[in-house]
Structure 1
Amino acid sequence: MHDKIGERTRNLIRQICKNSEIEMIVDYISNDRVCLLVLVLPHMPVSKTIQYIKECVIKSF
């Protein structure tokens, strides 16, 4: 991603994780993809967690 877009995306994802009891272990943002390694609580389905993060990022742009 372009530097500004990548940085904004990274900051948004970190803020979303911080506010949602999701621990982000590793993040990697390239031109065409975002890779995350997150730690979620057992009662939180992974698919719903990623869907939530995506929705929040899309709404912020």
Structure 2
Amino acid sequence: RYLLQAGSYPSAKAADEVKAKLAILGFVAQVQPVTINGKTWNRVRLGPYASASELETTKAAL
């Protein structure tokens, strides 16, 4: 299972804006909040992909 991280943002709003921009381009992304050293980061991720080559194809399309 492969995931492509498009970015990580301290602001949930910024992460949602990136997710929306990806949706306009035809990509489905999820926002995953994580806490690192007491600070919340919002990861924008695409996938999962079945293979590394599928992930690379998506990466090239971005």
Q: Please report the TM-score for the alignment, with normalisation by the length of structure 2.
A: 0.43
Structure of greater Rg: 2
Instruction: Give the structure with the higher percent strand.
Output: 2
Q: Which has the higher contact order (CA 8 A, sep 6+)?
A: 2
